[in-house]
Structure 1
Amino acid sequence: MSVIYSTLTSMINKISDEFHKSFLFTLIFSILEFIENQWVNSFFKKLYPKEDFLGFIGNNQILKNHLFNPLIVLFLFALFLLLSMNRPSNSLVVTLAIAFIGFFIGAVILPRYFLNDTDGNLLEFKRKDIYSIGFCLTILSIVFFFICIASVGGIPLLKPSIRYLLKPAFTMPVFLIIPGTCLIASAYLKDFQDEKITRSQARFRFIFLLAMDCAFLLLLGYRTPLLAAFLIIIIMGFYGNIVSIWEVVVGAAIGVGAIIGIGYFRSLGEMTITTSTNPFYTLQSRADFTLHVLNLLDFIGGNFGITHGHLLASAIPGSDLGPRMMVGKLIAWRTEVTVTPTLIGQMVVDFGKVGVFLEMCILGFILGIGFKIMQKTKNFFYIGIYSLILTYSILGIETGILDIQVLLYFAISILIYLICIGKART
């Protein structure tokens, strides 16, 4: 396996080096370096609040040590369910209890028995390799972005109707910009840890990567990948000491406010609500619908499931129906719509309550081990990979972890963590 990795990274490094030598990229990086220097030395930057701003938040030990603990997935899942104005069925309450217990065991209890001495037991990744992989993924995604625009004859953000003409074969590679910029940010984090760049430079580069992600994803009209890009940068910045706690908390409050505001004013424009309607109604109605779907899926799945892995396997490209279309068929016999099944929807349909316990335990274990390694080592790569899988676990609370590229991220993470565990036992 090391031979395959060495060969692959050698080839990717050469591609990355050739791009960096080209006139276009030499010009781009020169411009960015100039802007970065202006940013670092800007007078207005001094007006920005200091680290001790809102000290009562920054000094909170629970937030400082556990803000992005894997258990945040359970907290946010419970919060999402509480938004609903309807109550879950008795059977679903049991399923949810099983899911929460399984995740807690996997995230908190099981990791205690692994990697208690991580010295010399981890896979080591070179900064150059990680940067080159991230750079090539980003370039590939940008190329496919322009292919998407050309294939539909316009920009979906400006012409929303053409968004439905986008082909998954073209849009899926565009989403590679998220892991791509995650890896690039990891490399910049390594530079900051090695004191090759200042904190201000690292912050500028993180902001630039986030802005680039937002620009391309927003033009395609996608919101969930946009949230993914935002969350990854925030989590990495937090654990890399690039972003302060108060910035995370304030940013989260602004983000929630923006989601509520956008949903409210969009609903007003579509005349689905009136000005007298509670602004939280759009979130509540969405939670209501999702909970209703989960109630139906729980009833269908029972204790041992009915599809036995076919729903998860439908994420593979080439399947007749995607996983969310299969959910639409299961609950309404409509294959032309996609329905989000929440984090445990696929689990209960495929393998029932038994599957919910096992899969949530596995998910919790992946996050728990990743969190443990990251906290012990502060390694730039392991901060990046944990941020990636935690982000998609949080977003999966509503959408489920069903996209093939996201499943691939988890598969790679599992492989890396298992190798680390195996090395620790030898």
Structure 2
Amino acid sequence: MSLVYSTLTSIINRISDEFHDSFLFTTIFSILSFIENQWVNSYFKRLYPSEDFLKFLNKNEILKNHIFNPLLVLFLFAFFLILSMNNPSRSLVCTLIIAFIFFFIGSAILPKYFFNGNTENMLRFERRDIYSIGFCLILVSIVFFGLSIASVGGIPLLRPSIRYLLKPAFTMPVFLIIPGTCLVAGAYLKDFQDGKITRSQARFRFIFLLAMNTALLLLLGYRTPLLASFLIIIIIGFYGNIVSLWEVVIGGLVGIGAIIGIGYFRSVSEMTITSSTNPFYTLQSRADFTLHVLNLLDFLGGNFGLTHGKLLASSIPGSALGPRMMVGKLIAWRTEVTVTPTLIGQMVVDFGKVGVAAGMCILGFTLGIGFKILQKTKDYFYISIYSLILTYSILGIETGILDIQVILYFMIASFIYILNIVKTRN
């Protein structure tokens, strides 16, 4: 395994070095370095609120130490369900109780039995390797962004109708900018931890990464991946002491506002609602529809499931139907639409209430172990990987964890955590 990793990172480091040495990227980084110096020494930067702004937030121990605890997923899931104006069925209430209990067991109880001793034997990753992987992922996403725009002959943000003409073969690689940003931000955090760059420099680089994500993803008309980038930067920055607690809170409010605003204006432009409609209606209607879908899936799944893994397997590229199209077929016999099944929708329709118990326990355990490693080591890589899987767990509350690349993120994270469990027990 170490030979495969060494060979792969050697190739990726070579590619990264070649690009960094090219005239184009030398020019780009020189310009960015100049802008960064102007930022760090700017007078206007001093007008920005200090870390002590809204300092009363720091007195709240829950916010200060547990704002990104894995249990945040349960809190947000409950909030999403409350948004709906419809009532869940009795069977679904039972399923939700099972989901919440087993997630709590996996995230809060089981991790207590691991990593209670010396953690020096944990895997450590070279900063250069992680940066190169992230940089190459961003390059791939930029290339496919150009192909996506060219394939539809316009910018989906400006012409919403052509968004539905985007080809998944081109858009899916664009989303690699999210893990790429995660790894590059982690590398910058490592530089900050080692004293190679100042906090102001690290903050500028985080802002630049977020701006780049915003430019690519917003122009394609996608809001969920954009929110993923936003969350990742916030989580890494918070645990790396680059972002203050008050900025996390304000950022969260801005993020919620962005979701509501983008959804509202997109719905108005597509004439699905009128300008006089309550902006919160778009959020409530989504919650209503998603809960209705979950009610139907719970009825179909019962105690032991209906599709027995076929829905999860449909995530594999080349499948006749994608997972969300398969959900559409199951509940409405329509394969031309995609339907979001919530975090537990796939689990219940594949394996029933039993599957929900197992799936939520595994998900909770993965997040719980990742959170404990983060707290124990404060290592830049483990902060980054935890931010990635927590972000997609939060977004999966509505969309489900069904995209093949997202499933791979969880598999890689789980594999690394298992290796650490084995190494520290020897």
TM-score, length of structure 1 as denominator length? 0.98
Assess if the C-alpha contact under 8 Å between 1:260 and 1:282 holds in 2.
Answer: yes
Q: Is 97-106 or 279-288 further displaced after alignment?
A: 279-288
CA distance, structure 2, for counterparts of residue 154 and residue 169 of structure 1: 17
Aligned to 1:36: 36
Say if 1:315 and 1:403, in contact at 8 Å, map to a contact too: yes
The residue type equivalent to 1:369 in the other structure is I
* Other-structure match for 2:292: 292
Partner of 1:283: 283
1:306 lines up with 2:306 in the alignment: yes
Q: What's the CA shift for 1:272?
A: 4.3
Using the TM superposition, give the Cα deviation of residue 280 of structure 1 relative to its aligned residue in structure 2, in angstroms. Answer: 2.1
| 8 Å CA contact retained: 1:58, 1:244 | no
Could you tell me how far apart the structure 2 residues matched to 1:118 and 1:395 are?
34
Are the equivalent residues in 2 in contact too, given 1:118–1:373 (CA < 8 A)? no
Alignment match, 1:104:
104
Residue-by-residue CA offset, 1:105-151 (whole Å, 9 max, x unaligned): 00001101111124222111000000011111111111111111222
CA change 1:3–1:113 in 2 (3 A) is: same
Which residue identity is paired with 1:126? E
Q: Which residue of structure 2 lines up, in the alignment, with residue 49 of structure 1?
A: 49
Matched, 1:380 2:346: no
Map of 1:177 onto structure 2: 177
- Residues of 2 paired with 1:3 and 1:402: CA distance? 31
| Residue range with higher mean Cα deviation, 264-273 or 236-245 | 264-273
**Alignment partners' CA distance in 2, 1:119 and 1:342:** 36
Equivalent in the alignment of 2:336? 336
Name the amino acid aligned to 1:324.
R
Deviation at 1:154, TM superposition (A): 2.0
Structure 1 residue aligned with 2:357: 357
C-alpha displacement of 1:273: 4.3
The answer to whether the 8 Å contact 1:297/1:331 transfers is yes
Q: Normalising by structure 2, what TM-score?
A: 0.98
How far is the alpha carbon of 1:260 from its aligned partner? 2.3
Query: Helix, strand or coil for the counterpart of 2:248?
Result: helix
How far the C-alpha of 1:419 sits from its partner, in A, is 0.3
Answering whether residue 423 of structure 2 is matched by residue 416 of structure 1, we say no
- In the alignment, structure 1 residue 241 sits paired with structure 2 residue 241: yes
Equivalent-residue separation in structure 2 for 1:132 and 1:277 (angstroms):
47
Kept in 1, the 8 Å contact 2:13–2:129? The answer is: yes
The one-letter amino acid of 1:212's match is: M
Return the letter of the residue paired with 1:68: F
Give distance in 1, aligned partners of 2:28 and 2:357: 50
What's the CA shift string for 1:204-230, capped at 9, x where partnerless?
000000000110111111111101000
Residues 150-172 of structure 1 show CA distances to partners (whole Å, capped at 9, x for unaligned) of 22222222222222221111111
What code does the residue aligned with 1:9 have? T
Distance (Å, rounded) in 1 between the aligned partners of 2:171 and 2:266: 25
Report the Cα distance in structure 2 between the residues aligned to 1:273 and 1:139, rounded to whole angstroms: 38
Q: State the secondary structure of the residue aligned to 1:382.
A: helix
Query: What CA distance in whole angstroms lies between the structure 1 residues aligned with 2:285 and 2:156?
Result: 26
Tell me if the contact between 1:137 and 1:180 (Cα under 8 Å) persists in the aligned partners: yes
CA distance, structure 1, for counterparts of residue 67 and residue 55 of structure 2: 16
The answer to whether the 8 A contact 2:68-2:235 is kept is yes
1:145 aligns with 2:145: yes
For the residue of structure 2 that corresponds to 1:288, the secondary structure is: helix
Query: Partner amino acid for 2:410?
Result: F
Shift of 1:56: 1.1
Report 1:62-101 matches (<5 A). Answer: 62-101=62-101
Matching residue of 1:215:
215
User: Distance between the aligned counterparts of 1:118 and 1:29, measured in 2?
Assistant: 41
Distance 1:272 1:111, change over 3 A: same
Name the counterpart of 2:195: 195
- Determine the C-alpha separation between the residues in 2 that align with 1:121 and 1:76: 35
Q: Could you tell me the percent identity over the aligned residues? A: 80
SS at match of 2:401: coil
Matched, 1:389 2:389: yes
Give CA-to-partner distance per residue, 1:227-248, whole Å, 9 cap, x none: 1000000000010000001011
Structure 2: runs of 5 or more not aligned: none
The code of the aligned residue for 2:202 comes to A
Letter in 2 for 1:22: S
Deviates more, 1:272-281 or 1:394-403: 272-281
Match of 2:252 in 1: 252
Q: 1:370 is matched with which residue?
A: 370
Structure 1 segments, 4+ long, off by >6 Å, are: none
Secondary structure, aligned partner of 2:178: helix
Is the Cα–Cα contact under 8 Å of residues 340 and 400 in structure 2 kept in the other structure? Answer: yes
Query: Which amino acid counterpart does residue 238 of structure 1 have in structure 2?
Result: F
1:319 aligns with 2:319: yes
Give the 3-state SS of the residue equivalent to 1:308 in structure 2.
coil
- Residue 58 of structure 1 and its aligned partner are, at CA, apart by 2.6
* Structure-2 residue corresponding to 1:402: 402
The residue type equivalent to 1:4 in the other structure is: V
User: Matches of 1:270 and 1:133 in 2, distance apart?
Assistant: 39
Task: Supply the distance in 2 between the matched residues of 1:410 and 1:183 (Cα, whole angstroms).
Answer: 15
Residue 258 of structure 1 and its aligned partner are, at CA, apart by 2.7
- How many residue pairs end up in the alignment? 426
Once residues 274 and 324 of structure 2 are traced to their aligned partners in structure 1, the CA distance between those partners, rounded to angstroms, is 30
Helix, strand or coil at the partner of 2:334? coil
Aligned partner of 1:303: which letter?
Answer: N
Tell me the C-alpha RMSD between the 2 structures: 1.2
Which residue is 1:262 aligned to?
262
Residue 232 (structure 1) aligns with: 232
In the alignment, residue 3 of structure 1 is paired with which amino acid? Answer: L
The answer as to whether partners of 1:324 and 1:341 remain within 8 angstroms in 2 is yes
Secondary structure of the corresponding residue to residue 317 of structure 1: coil
Determine the C-alpha separation between the residues in 2 that align with 1:353 and 1:57: 39
Cα separation, 2, equivalents of 1:270 and 1:154: 17
